[in-house]
Homo-oligomer: A and B are copies of this chain.
Amino acid sequence: MANGLDTPATDGARRIVISVDAMGGDRGPAAVVAGLSLSAAAFADVDFVLHGNQTELSRLVERESGLAGRVTLRHAERVVSMHDKPSQVMRHGEGTSMWSCVESVKAGEAKVAVSCGNTGALMAISMLRLRKLPGINRPAIASLWPSRNPGGFNVMLDMGADVKADSGDLLQFAMMGASYARNGLGLTRPRVGLLNVGTEEHKGRAELKEAHDLLGRTAEAGSFDYIGFVEGSDIPSDRVDVIVTDGFTGNVALKTGEGTAKLISDFLREEFNASVFSRLAALFALGTLRRLQRRMDPRRANGGVFLGLNGTVVKSHGSADATGMAAALRLARQLAAADFQDRLAARVASGIRAGQDAAAAETPSDTATGTGGGTKE
């Protein structure tokens, strides 16, 4: 995976423009601008269109010398809050920074949109303005999951774009997830698994058995290896790269995993604080515990990608700080540099054409990964 990470393309031949919603995150626009600054320093080929309150933003941006000449401000009067209902935002969302952020991708001035606002509202606006890719029934949200794989992450989808999925949707998720793993994680031939309650063929819901057959027949055309059913315990394993499930199950699994990690980390802290001796032990173990924390740090995996639309949208965690925001921007840049959107659209189109041919077109070329540099570590 060590293919030029953090080595920006400095030839200036191609500028990558990312559209960023500055408002709506829990930490406000200051954290977003700080993330922009980190990202601008790491990648010389990236420029930003930043949406939100112009007065506030220009003050924040001017403070960061590294952002000089790299940011175009776009004033938006209103902000989508975490409590706004998606249906309301669809009707009355025009004039919000989130709407404006997605609009930049629709207009073609930016290649990817990034927001840390309300997920449901962001999906609603993205669906309304970008529309679904021809042939896609349900768009999906793909997230990265810390794993034992060499790259440190697996891809899982759908994480909650919709609460259900039939066998045809699950097949589309597999095609899109494999495409994302190729372009976002640099895996030439991703291994795809279908999440179920057991690995035996007779287990699970009817739509899963159907999808199991469909995936087995389509893997070759989709340039992925289908490894069959996987269980919840396999999500962080090194036997699968892309885990396919419906948005209800995916969302519950994600939050259960986060909740378990948080519980263990809290218990660890409590135990290390329990006595004078254990506090002393904690001092000795500090470096080790910090390395563990870094390995499990959810900020490193920040960025749920909306797949199946005419344009790429990255949902950053609502509580993202500068580091988290920079991770989401790095992911956005990587996907833009790899021409992910065009490759995904081509893949979906070819999937619809009954899945002949395949393979060729989409695997990232040497150039793309060589200058891309942002392959998720």
Is A268 an interface residue, CB under 8 A from the partner?
Answer: yes
**Chain B positions within 8 Å of A266 at CB level:** 148
Q: A232-B252, A234-B259 are in contact. Are A204 and B163 (CB under 8 A)?
A: yes
Query: A148 is contacted by which of B195, B263, B289 (Cβ under 8 Å)?
Result: B263
Q: How far is the CA of A73 from the CA of B148 in the complex (A)?
A: 46
Q: A205-B248, A288-B271 are in contact. Are A259 and B278 (CB under 8 A)?
A: no
A128-136, A219-227, A290-298, A305-313 - interface stretch:
A290-298
Query: A256 is contacted by which of B202, B204, B235, B278 (Cβ under 8 Å)?
Result: B235
**Chain B positions within 8 Å of A256 at CB level:** 232-233, 235, 253, 256-257, 260
Query: A281 is contacted by which of B247, B263, B285 (Cβ under 8 Å)?
Result: B285
What string of 1s and 0s marks CB contacts (under 8 Å) between A247-281 and chain B? Answer: 11101111111111111101110011010011011
A267 near B252: Cβ-Cβ < 8 Å: no
**Chain B positions within 8 Å of A237 at CB level:** 259
What string of 1s and 0s marks CB contacts (under 8 Å) between A229-246 and chain B? Answer: 001111111000000010
Query: A249 is contacted by which of B202, B252, B285 (Cβ under 8 Å)?
Result: B252
Q: A231-B255, A260-B261 are in contact. Are A281 and B278 (CB under 8 A)?
A: no
Interface size on A, residues (CB 8 A): 57
Q: How far is the CA of A284 from the CA of B283 in the complex (A)?
A: 10
Query: A291 is contacted by which of B147, B233, B257, B274 (Cβ under 8 Å)?
Result: B274
Query: A284 is contacted by which of B252, B261, B280, B291 (Cβ under 8 Å)?
Result: B280
> A88: shortest Cβ distance to chain B, in Å?
11
> A158: shortest Cβ distance to chain B, in Å?
11
A288 near B272: Cβ-Cβ < 8 Å: yes
What string of 1s and 0s marks CB contacts (under 8 Å) between A143-185 and chain B? Answer: 0001110000000000010011000000000000000000000
Is A108 an interface residue, CB under 8 A from the partner?
Answer: no
| Nearest-CB residue, chain B, relative to A248 | B197
**Chain B positions within 8 Å of A146 at CB level:** 263
Is A287 an interface residue, CB under 8 A from the partner?
Answer: yes
Q: A163-B197, A247-B197 are in contact. Are A259 and B288 (CB under 8 A)?
A: no
Q: A197-B248, A232-B252 are in contact. Are A278 and B288 (CB under 8 A)?
A: yes
Q: How far is the CA of A205 from the CA of B282 in the complex (A)?
A: 45
Q: How far is the CA of A235 from the CA of B254 in the complex (A)?
A: 12
> A275: shortest Cβ distance to chain B, in Å?
9
> A249: shortest Cβ distance to chain B, in Å?
6
14 new A-B contacts, CB < 8 A, other than A163-B204, A260-B260, A281-B281, are A85-B202, A163-B197, A231-B255, A232-B252, A232-B255, A232-B258, A232-B259, A233-B256, A233-B258, A237-B259, A261-B264, A267-B292, A271-B292, A277-B287
Selected A-B contacts with CB under 8 Å, 22 pairs: A147-B263, A163-B197, A197-B247, A204-B248, A231-B252, A231-B255, A232-B252, A232-B254, A232-B256, A235-B259, A236-B259, A253-B256, A256-B256, A261-B264, A264-B296, A267-B296, A271-B291, A272-B285, A278-B288, A281-B284, A281-B288, A282-B288
